[in-house]
Amino acid sequence: KIEAYGYINGFTGLLRGDKISLPIDLTNTDYENLYKVGGSIIGNSRVKLTNKEDCIQKKLIDKHQDPLEVASEQLIKDKIDILHPIGGDDTNSTARDLANYINSKGIDITLVGIPKTIDNDIYPVKQSLGAYSAAESGAIFFNNIVNENNMSPRQLIVHEVMGRNSGWLTAYTAKIYNDILDKKKNSLENLNLKPIYNLNRFKIHALYVPEESYDFSGEVKRLEQVMDNTGCLNVFVSEGAFLKEISNDIESKGNKINKDAFGHVQLDSMDTGKWISKIISDKINIQRVLIQKSGYFARSAAPNSKDLEYIFKICDFAFKQALDGNSGVAGVDERSNELSCIDFKLIRGDKGLDIKSKWYLDIMDEIKT
């Protein structure tokens, strides 16, 4: 008999022994309804099992306890044979630490990670679950926001998209938005209502990602010309872009950079959209600035059909690997382009956007024309 449980808020629930029973006998209709729900029904958290001080601060363990030992003992107590950590590189690197500890103690539990992050930045996983759904939702978000350009003259819209070290989500959101705009073109052009429905007012005029460097002396001149010709500016920016520059600004004012349990800068405190809007508006005559963040709108979206198909593929494979006693991260290995159970030791969170890929270069060519 198979029993399935979900630890509430991920490793937080594991440390606390806080779990729920997951039904495994749902009807097809039940499953279809569940697939329409966005986010995570068991939640998540930012917990690193090797960061003892953070676990103590969060009151997940006592000061004399070891988080890895507490987690392992809970799994034994709950009679868990297979654990599927679901998340990005931080989740799966923590799963690696837990797997190493379990193996060192001779405990018979198999861990197979599920690569789930909208940043799509896990090396060497070719595609993370949820990434395409988030990009599509971000494009839909901006497709509505861009209509605000008809409300005010000389308006700057900054669309801040999630993504720490990788600009993939920002760029792919732009790609899908351009596809939406292409479908609009005929209907808008047939209206013959220029300049109100000038297509250039709907275009993306700039896209900034962490993988690129920018010369703003020349960039501002280009954007100023776009503003003068079009009457608006539409900018896409990754929340992790300009991280060094923003950090320097914050520290120069005597303020502290906040970091999470994994040592990452807390991006909410960076406010990248506000920073880039000031850089632009300080040099260009702008009457109204609108900063919009699609992050949680996109991250909590229900999976689209493309993602669902991939989710089924990865999860079925992950469960089979677990039954066979193979630990690792289930996903298509971009080195071989094959579905694999990738060694935890190979997992990193530094897979950036390929700025030489044709689809990205096509977006940049479209922006600059």
Which residues belong to the active site?
119
Which amino acid, one-letter code, is at 287? Q
Distance CA 367, CA 178 (A): 10
Distance CA 326, CA 339 (A): 14
Residue in the structure block whose two tokens are 């694999």: 340
Q: What is the dihedral of CA 312, 313, 319, 322, to 10 degrees?
A: -150
Retrieve residue 28's tokens.
């097809």
Going by C-alpha positions, the residue among 235, 248, 244 that lies closest to residue 276 is 235
Instruction: Quote the DSSP letter at residue 195.
Output: T
Length of the chain counted residue by residue: 369
Retrieve residue 19's tokens.
């779990």
3-class DSSP assignment, residue 210: coil
3-class DSSP assignment, residue 221: helix
Instruction: Quote the DSSP letter at residue 77.
Output: H
3-class DSSP assignment, residue 290: strand
Rg (CA), the chain: 23
Q: Phi and psi dihedrals of 23, rounded to 5?
A: -70, 135
Helix axes 89-104, 67-77, angle to 10 degrees: 80
Contacts of 323 (CB under 8 A, 6+ apart): 82
Distance CA 330, CA 113 (A): 6
Helix axes 168-191, 131-145, angle to 10 degrees: 40
Contacts of 142 (CB under 8 A, 6+ apart): 159, 173, 177, 236, 292, 294
